[in-house]
Amino acid sequence: MKTRILIIALLSLLVGLSALAQQSTSTANAPQAAPASQSSQSTDPVLEPLPPPPTNANFWDGDEPNVVNLVAHPFARKAWIKRQLQPLRDRLGELDELTVAHAARIKDVDARTQQGLQLASEKTSMADQHANDAAIKAQTAQMVVTQASTRVSNAEQIVGNLDQYKGGAQTEIRFRPGQSVLSKQAKNALDQMASPLKDQHSYIFEIRGFAAGHGQAAIAASQKMADSVVRYLVESNQIPVYRIFVLGMGDAQVSGDSTPAKHVSGGRVEVSLVRNDLVSSAQR
C-alpha cells in the first residue's frame, strides 16, 4: 500500500515538472515588441516577430498516455526540438540576407564615391590646364601688343622724319649745243655719286636740265638732256626710277637763286643728291 502511494506521488511530481517546463519555454520564446520610435526611424525592412511555439491540443500531443511517454515527452524528442529551433533558423537566415544586402549597398556607395572623387580630380586637372593655356595666351597677346606698339612708334618716327632731307653731293653735266650724249667725264662724275648708294635707302636724286633758247624748244632740249642722265643712272648704276626726280627747266632761273641764270651755248644738267639719315637709322 505504501509502495503504490509513493508511485502515485512520483507520477504527480513528474507531470507538474513537465507542465512547468513547457510554460517556461513558451514564455522565453515570446518575442519582445520593439519601441515605436526605433521602428519608425529605421530604414531597414521590419522583421516579423518570431511566432509563438505551437500550442498543443493537450499535454500528450497525440502520444499514448503512459509512464514511458511521460518520462520522454517532450524533452527527448527531435521533432519537438526542431519545431522550437526552426523560427530561430529562419530569423538567422533573414539576418544573413540583410547582412549581404547591407554589404552590397556599402560597396555600391564606396564605388560611387570613388567615381565621384576621380571625376572631380579630372575636372580639377582640366581646369588647371585651361588656366595654364589662358596664361600662355595672355602672355602671347601681351608680347604681340608690345611689338605692335614698338612698330607704331617706329612708324610714327619714320613718318615724322620723312621730310628731313639734307643736301649731299652735287655735280653739273655739260652738253654741247644740240647734243644729249654723256661724255666720259660726265659718266665718271655720275658713277662717283651713285656707287656708294648700293643697298642704301632714303635718298633722292634731283635732276634739273637747262638749255639755251626760249619757250617750249628750250624746255624740250633741257628735258632730253636730263633724260639721258636718268637713263645712265638707271641702266649703269641700278638706281630705282622712283628715287629720281627729273625736270626740264629750259632757260628758267632756279627759285631762290639770287645769281642770274647761267646761259651756256649748249646746255647743262644739275644733279643733286639729298638724303634722309634719320629715316635710315629708324628703319635699322
Domain regions of the chain by residue span = 2-76, 167-283
**Ramachandran class of 238: left when φ > 0, alpha when ψ lies in -120 to 50, beta otherwise:** left
pTM of the model: 0.42
Decide if 222 contacts 209 (C-beta within 8 A): yes
Question: Alpha-carbon torsion 117, 118, 121, 122, what sign?
Answer: negative
Question: pLDDT tens digits for 219-264?
Answer: 999 999 999 999 999 999 989 999 999 988 888 765 445 444 455 5
Question: pLDDT tens digits for 93-141?
Answer: 888 888 999 999 999 999 999 999 999 999 999 999 999 999 999 999 9
CATH topology for 167-283 is 60s Ribosomal Protein L30; Chain: A; (3.30.1330)
Name the amino acid, one letter, at 121: S
**Exposed, middle or buried, 218 (CB in 10 Å: 0-12/13-18/19+)?**
buried
CA angle 142–145–146, rounded 5-degree value: 85
Lookup: cell for 141: 597677346
Q: How much is the pLDDT for 172?
A: 92
